[in-house]
Amino acid sequence: MLVVVAVLLGSLGFVKFRQIQNAIAQGSSFQPPPTAVTTIVAQKETWPTTLDIIGTAQAIQGVTVSADLPGTVAKIHFDSGQWVHEGDILVELDTRQEQAQLAEVEAQRDLARINYGRTQQLVNQGVMAKTEFDNVTAQQKVTEGQVGEIRATIARKTIRAPFSGVLGIRQVSLGQYLAAGQAIISLQSLDPIYVNFGVPQQSIGQVGIGRTLRITSNDLPGLQFTGRVTALDSVVNESTRNLQVQTTLSNSQNKLRPGMFVQVSVGLGADTPVIALPASAINYAPYGDSVFVVTDLKDDKGKTYRGVRQQIVKLGGSRGDQVGVVSGINPGDEVVTSGVFKLRNGAAVQINNKVQPDNNSHPKPEDS
C-alpha cells in the first residue's frame, strides 16, 4: 500500500510539474493584443510668428457725469443710450433762488456804475476827493464780481456733455435732490477706442510704437479690427512681469464697448515652419515632450509587426486644437493622435482612423 501511495503521489506530482512547465512556456510566448490608436501623417506648414494675448477695450474718453453743486433736478434733456455732442445740455438743476439773487446783484451793479460815472466827473472837476473816488471804484468792482459769481453758480447747475459720445443708463429723475458729486449718467467716447493688454517682458523689444496689430472678438464673429500701438507703460508689473501696451483703433460701427475683452494678435517676426499636430498627440513629461511614430518593428523572433517608436520633440506655439512641432519628426511620419497614454516604446498598434480627435486651427465653440 505504501508503494502504491508513493507511485500515485509521484504521478500526480509529475503531471502537475508538466502543467506548470506548459503554463510558463505559454506565458513566455504570449503577445498582448495590439492597442487601437488613431494616426495622422505629419505635414509641414508655415505659421506666422505671433503673440496671442487677451486685451480689454477702454474708451479714450469716459466719465460718469455728476452734479457739481447740490440741487433739485428741474429738467432732463436726454434719453438713455443717446448720442450727444460736446456742450449739449443734459440736466438743469433748480436755479430760482440764484436767479433772484442775480437780479438783486445786477441792480446793485447798475447803481454802482452810475455812481462811478458821476464820481469820475466830480473828480475831473476837482470837486470830490480822490479817496472817495477810489471807494466808489472798489464798490463798482465788487458788484461786478458778485454778478459773475452768481452767474457761474447758475452755469454750474446747468450740466453739459464734456465731449461727444454715447450716454449710458439714466440714474436720476425729475424732482430728485442731487448731492454734490452724485452720479447722473455715464458718457463714453467710442470712436476711436483703446485696447490695453499686457506683453511678457521677454517680448517687449519686439512690440514698439507704431506696430500694427490684429484685434478680434468671439462675440463679434466675422469682424476684425486693425490697431496701432500708441503707448507703452513706463514700468513692468512686478506680479506678472508684463508691460502694459495701449493700442488705438477705429470703431466706426461702435461694435466694441469699454470693458469688453478681445483677442489681440501681435506679429513678432518672420513666419516659422512647423509640423501641426493635434494637441492629443503630445505626451507631456518632465524629461521632455514626445510623440509616438508608427513604423515597422521586429520582435525577438525577427517577425515584422506594426509598432510605435517614442520620439522626443521640441514644441513651438499652439493654434486652436493644434500644437506646432519645431523639430523631432519629419514630414511624412505617421504619428499617433489618440491613445497615447496607453502606449510604450515598441508597443504593437492597430490603426483605426474612423473617428479622429479635434484638429482645427480656428475652432468655434458650440452653443451650450
Confidence of residue 128 (pLDDT cuts 50, 70, 90): low
| Digit-coded pLDDT (tens) for 42-74 | 888 887 777 778 888 888 888 888 888 888 888
The residue ranges of DSSP E strands in 22-130, in sequence order, are 35-41, 44-47, 50-66, 71-76, 83-84, 89-93
* Ramachandran class of 213: left when φ > 0, alpha when ψ lies in -120 to 50, beta otherwise: beta
Backbone angles phi, psi at 12, to 5 degrees: -60, -40
The confidence score (pLDDT) of residue 126 equals 64
More reliable by pLDDT, 171 or 129 = 171
* Least confident piece of the model among 24-33, 313-322, 352-361: 24-33
Q: Is the pLDDT of residue 164 over 80?
A: yes
Q: Which of 23-37, 197-211, 262-276, 280-294 comes out lowest in average pLDDT?
A: 23-37
> In this predicted model, what pLDDT tens digit does every residue of 301-323 receive, in sequence order?
788 888 889 999 988 777 778 88
Residue 368 has pLDDT above 50, yes or no: no
Q: Do 131 and 190 contact (CB within 8 A), yes or no?
A: no
pLDDT mean across residues, the chain: 82
Question: What pLDDT shows up at residue 63?
Answer: 86
Tell me: the pLDDT tens digits for 272-289?
A: 788 888 888 888 888 888
Query: What percent of the chain has pLDDT above 90?
Result: 3
Give 367's pLDDT tier (boundaries 50, 70, 90).
Answer: very low
Least confident of 118-127, 184-193, 291-300: 118-127
For cell 424732482, the residue is: 175
Q: What angle do CA 311, 41, 317 make, to 5 degrees?
A: 65
Q: Side chain identity at 185, as an amino acid letter?
A: I
Using pLDDT thresholds of 50, 70 and 90, give the confidence band for residue 292. very high
Following CA atoms 271, 273, 279, 281 in sequence, which dihedral angle do they give, to the nearest 10 degrees? 180
For range 85-107, the mean pLDDT: 85
Determine the pLDDT at residue 80.
86
